Amino acid sequence: MKISYEIKIKFGDLLDAQTDYLINPSNTVMLLGSGVSMAFKRHCGETLEKYMQEQLKIKEIRQGDVVKTASNHASFPFVLHAAIMNYADRSESKKPSLATIAQILNNLQEIILQDQSKYIKIALPLMGCGAGRLDKHEVISEYKCFFKQNLDAEKECEVEIYGFSESDFRLLKEIMTKS
C-alpha cells in the first residue's frame, strides 16, 4: 500500500497541533530531556515518559527507531518518539546523521501504513537540528524528497512541518516550495 502526502508548513509551537500523531525527536533511552522533548514533558506530563519507559521494557530502542505511545493529551492521541540521539550504544555515534533521519521517516511511514484509517494527520519539527546539530537545509531537503513520493496512493497523510522560529519557517517555505 502507498501513501499520498500533503505537506503543510506551519509556524509556531508543534504542541499546538491537532493531529493523529505528533512526532517527538527523542533518544534511545526514552527520556524527555531537552528541546522539543522537554516541551513534550511540560505539555503532556510525567505520564508520557512512563509510557516511553514501558516501551524499553518490551525491546531495545536503537537510533533511527520510532516508538508509538499514547499522548495523555486531547489534541493528539498518539506520540511517535523518533530515536534521534543515541544514548544507549556507546560504540556508535551519539549524534544523528541524515541516514538516521531517512530511517526515521521510513519507520514513521510503516506506522502510518499499519493505522486502519484511510486519512492520517501527523505533525513534526525539524528533527536532529537541535542537540543533533544536523544542517537544517539538509534535513528539510530530506523531508521534501521523502514526502514528495507516492502521489497516487490508497492512503492519505497530511504532514504538518513546524518551524518554531520565524527563520526556520521561512527556510521551510523556501525549500519545500522550490521546484
Distance, CA of 159 to chain centre: 10
pLDDT at 33: 85
pLDDT at 149: 73
The three-state (H, E, C) secondary structure of 69-117, written as one string:
EECCCCCCCEEEEEEEECCCCCCCCCCCCHHHHHHHHHHHHHHHHHCCC
Residue 99 has pLDDT above 70, yes or no: yes
Helix axes 46-58, 36-44, angle to 10 degrees: 110
User: Whole-prediction pTM value?
Assistant: 0.94
Residue 44 has pLDDT above 90, yes or no: no
CB count within 10 Å of CB 147 equals: 19
Residue 5 has pLDDT above 70, yes or no: yes
User: What residue spans define the domains of the chain?
Assistant: 3-177
pLDDT at 73: 86
113-164 confidence digits (pLDDT tens): 999 999 999 999 999 999 999 999 999 999 999 998 766 678 999 999 999 9
The residue with cell 537545509 is 137
User: What distance in Å separates the CA atoms of residue 40 and residue 140, rounded to the nearest whole number?
Assistant: 22
pLDDT at 46: 87
pLDDT at 151: 62
Q: Which three cell numbers stand for residue 3?
A: 501513501
- Edge-to-edge strands of the sheet including 3-11? 3-11, 155-163, 119-124, 21-27, 78-85, 66-70
CATH 3.30.70.141 is right for the domain spanning 3-177: no
CB 82 within 8 A of CB 66: yes
Q: Which residues contact 11 (CB under 8 A, 6 or more apart)?
A: 162, 163, 166, 169
Per-residue confidence at 166, pLDDT binned at 50, 70, 90? very high
Of the candidates 22, 89, 32, the one whose C-alpha atom is nearest the C-alpha of residue 55 is 32
Sign for the pseudo-dihedral over CA of 137, 52, 114, 39 = negative
